Chain A
Amino acid sequence: MGKKLLTEHFGVQGIQQLQVYKQHGGYASLEKALKKTPDEIVNEVMTSGLRGRGGAGFPTGRKWSFIDKKSGKPRYLVCNADESEPGTFKDRYLMEVNPHLLIEGMIISSFALGAHLSYIYIRGELLYVYHILEKAIAEAYEAGYLGKNILGTGYDLELYCHPGGGAYICGEETALIESLEGKRGNPRIKPPFPAISGLYNNPTVVNNVESIATVPAIIAMGGEEYAKIGIGHSKGTKLISACGHIKKPGIYEIELGLPVEEFIYSDEYCGGIRGGRKLKAVVAGGSSVPILPAELILKTEKGEPRLMSYESLSDGGFTSGTMLGSGGFIVMDETTSIVKNLFNFTRFYHHESCGQCSPCREGTAWMEKILHRILHGHGTLKDVDLLWTLQKNIDGKTICPLGDAAAWPVASAIRHFRSEFEDFVQHPEKHLDVKHYFNQIEKKELA
């Protein structure tokens, strides 16, 4: 069994209550942290090798060290709890089951950054989790962990939970900041980066829920100890939300470096493919990352076993690799239609594009229309090539990474499953929905 730092107390009855959380060692890290200097905490996190769990995997300690402390402007910490990526549902679970872990992490991280006002920006649809957090925050205020003069140290912190309006794009950090400011959630053009000019044009750090919730564990065990877990530049444990055609979908905390094969097939984790079917493909890090066929997800192109780590999953670049991303692990068995799945993803990105920049606004809509046409049996081979050029024309040419996130699934699906697309457009009757199919037969027979 791997180490459990985040999910250790998930089974404890009433862990959502401060009292119970404390009985299990809660807020001890906070007390320990408040005895250190903020810089010591930043160093601790830097030593731990923790990388952002929101998708990009940027080292958290480094991000913290960039925050502008010289200008004397107020600094903010914003927790990104907008989790809306298809296939990713780990933050929701973490906040729902153990809200105080996040709150404790928020207080320590805010203290490290010198922030006196911090926010948790939570996805609008998760209103019930918002209420759980609100309750926990109220308890923390009551206990003197929040507010003025925290635990008599002279440190003040106000923490607010703010529900979003239900837009995936508000998970992009600058769109999130705009939204938090009460504006339309459009990503900003960078630079300037939030560390210099973020919320209300002040230095701001935006971190994922899981990144922040890991901080108490790092303080408890020390950065050096934390860095012993994992492999290479992938330190510590990571929550993986596994879904799709597996026997045991759910949230798993893994030590980074776990072989993918073990994760999919062992009874401790996914338990293998449902119904004894064969594995076809995996989207390893949330819908945005490239899809990989079974042979490439289990082994790298060089034939080495693929591991659940930042480096191993991206081994081979986009030609034969993918990304750890946010940890949304979507497993597809041999019955899955890659074309239909791609349509689903593309429809999502079309729907969620903010529409600011032309390649993403027009491109996502166009790609969806082409896939829709293919799906209804009217596609041609030219459509497959057109999809390929369109994704290329979007990739890297947009304001925010949503454009890339829309392009990569298309690119990788065609890269690895081109023959399936070609078969779909040449013999649509084989792939169409049964009802649709019978309608067509009827028409043929009538004719």
Chain B
Amino acid sequence: MPKVTIDGKTIEVPQGTTILQAARMIGAEVTPPAMCYYTSLKTSGGYCRTCIVKVSKMSEANPNPIPKPVASCRTNVEEGMEVLNYTSPEIVEARKGVVEFLLANHPLDCPICDQAGECHLQDLSYDHGSDDTRYEFERRKFKKIDLGPFIQLHMTRCILCYRCVKVADQLTDERVHGVLNRGEVSEISTYITKAIENDFSGNMIDVCPVGALTDKTFRFKSRVWFTNPVSAHRDCKKCCGKVTLWYKGDEVLRVTGRKDKWGEVEEFICNECRFEKKQTLDWEIEGPTAIDRHSVISANHYEKIVEPSLFKLNDIKPFED
């Protein structure tokens, strides 16, 4: 098993582990942000470039550095590899540049966006971005598109992370979802805006890091930080049936997959669980969900249930191709 050192911390990991996964095993303090990689989606990652790190030593066998920054989510560790993330000013600066690019065409309409409070782009810009913008041109705009009865696509906010495309490719049986056009005018689209009718299409909403794909059954019902997450499950023939219910008072406003510390869904859920089971009676309640993420979403929920530091890290397995 190769040993890798990231920002001075060493860990032994299974062969085939990426730098990003190794960093997650060490802990948040060395982990680069990841906006497009998604552990359970094959071939995801590599697009956003927020996870770039510097490989200062390739391996024991080849101690040379890699001249350019690499995408940690798509680069496997090798025995003796040494990686600089937050300890490299060059990387911190470069990442600021990436964040600026991701925000360049973003509408910054958080006050009217459903994702605000649980948006990874918000977190990213707080943690890794600059205070102001140097982009002074008109930002690109798209019309909102209904992807069937449950999902709305607001391309204007999309960061083209390709996660939803991978969901469409890998979880749903008929691909009608992809990218049209190229470059700065690329857009996520369904084939001739064909509605996505598939039992697992709702997972696109969960994987979308921003407010580009939102749940039409929840839109504008509440700011997310006014809702309380509760873990629940039910016997479902289609999926694992393990979800998070988001309550406001007694009312279940929405149902989502359960997300881990890194904001990734633990197991994908079906559309029936997500869109059609919105009564407490539909579910076995397990208890409040603690959110170990220092985002707005984790504010105001419950009096401290568990100290985040007592959380066990997720069991991260390298994924096999």
* Contact B137–A357 (Cβ < 8 Å): no
**Interface residue from B67, B68, B71, B186 paired with A361 (Cβ < 8 Å):** B186
In the complex, the chain A residue whose C-beta lies closest to that of B162 is: A356
Tell me, rounded to whole Å, the shortest Cβ–Cβ distance linking B183 to chain A: 4
A189-B74, A393-B100, A397-B52 given as contacts; is B184 within 8 A of A362 (CB)?
Answer: yes
Q: Given A361-B183, A364-B183, A397-B69: A189 and B46 within 8 A (CB)?
A: yes
Task: Tell me if B46 and A399 are in contact (CB < 8 A).
Answer: yes
In the complex, A398→B49 CA distance in Å?
7
Considering only residues 144-193 of chain A, those with a C-beta below 8 Å from chain B are 167, 169, 184, 189
Q: List the B side residues contacting A357 at CB < 8 Å.
A: 46-49
> Is B179 in contact with chain A by the CB < 8 A criterion?
yes
Counting chain B CB atoms within 10 Å of each CB, which of A167, A189, A362, A369 scores highest? A362
Taking the nearest CB of chain A, how far is it from the CB of B141, in angstroms?
14
Chain A's nearest CB lies how many Å from the CB of B142? Answer: 14
Pick the contact of B97: A189, A352, A354, A359 (CB < 8 A): A359
Distance in Å from the Cβ of A429 to the closest Cβ of chain B? 22
Q: Are B69 and A365 in contact (CB under 8 A)?
A: no
A354 touches B182 (CB 8 A): yes
Residue from A354, A356, A358, A366 whose CB has the most chain B CB atoms within 10 Å? A358
In angstroms, how far is the closest chain A Cβ from the Cβ of B175? 12
Q: How many residues of A contact B (CB 8 A)?
A: 29
Closest residue on chain B to residue A390 by CB atoms:
B97
Interface residues of B in 134-187 (CB under 8 A from A): 134-135, 137, 159-160, 162, 178-179, 181-186
Chain B residue with Cβ nearest A363: B101
Question: When A189-B71, A366-B104, A398-B49 are in contact, do A355 and B160 touch as well, CB less than 8 Å?
Answer: yes
Binary per-residue interface labels of chain B (33-51) against chain A in the complex, 1 for a CB within 8 Å, 0 otherwise: 0000000000001111100
CB distance from B105 to the nearest CB of A (A): 6
A-B interface contact total, Cβ < 8 Å: 89
Chain B neighbourhood of A361, CB < 8 A: 101, 160, 183-184, 186
- Measured CA separation A355–B47 after assembly (Å): 9
Nearest CB of B to A372, in Å: 9
- Chain A residues whose CB sits within 8 angstroms of the CB of B25 once the complex forms: none
Q: Kindly identify which residue among A169, A350, A392 contacts B184, using a CB–CB cutoff of 8 Å.
A: A350
Decide: A359 and B98 in contact? CB cutoff 8 A.
Answer: yes
A364 contact set on B, CB distance < 8 A: 183-184
The residue in B69, B104, B105 that gathers the most chain A C-beta atoms within 10 A of its C-beta is B104
The listed residue (B46, B47, B105, B183) touching A351 by CB distance below 8 A is B183
Report B's interface with A, CB cutoff 8 A.
45-49, 52, 67-69, 71, 74, 94, 97-98, 100-102, 104-105, 134-135, 137, 159-160, 162, 178-179, 181-186
29 A-B Cβ contacts within 8 A?
A: A167-B182, A169-B182, A350-B184, A352-B183, A353-B182, A353-B183, A354-B183, A354-B186, A355-B181, A355-B182, A355-B183, A356-B47, A357-B47, A358-B48, A358-B159, A359-B49, A362-B102, A362-B184, A363-B101, A365-B105, A365-B184, A366-B104, A389-B97, A393-B94, A396-B68, A397-B52, A397-B68, A397-B69, A397-B97
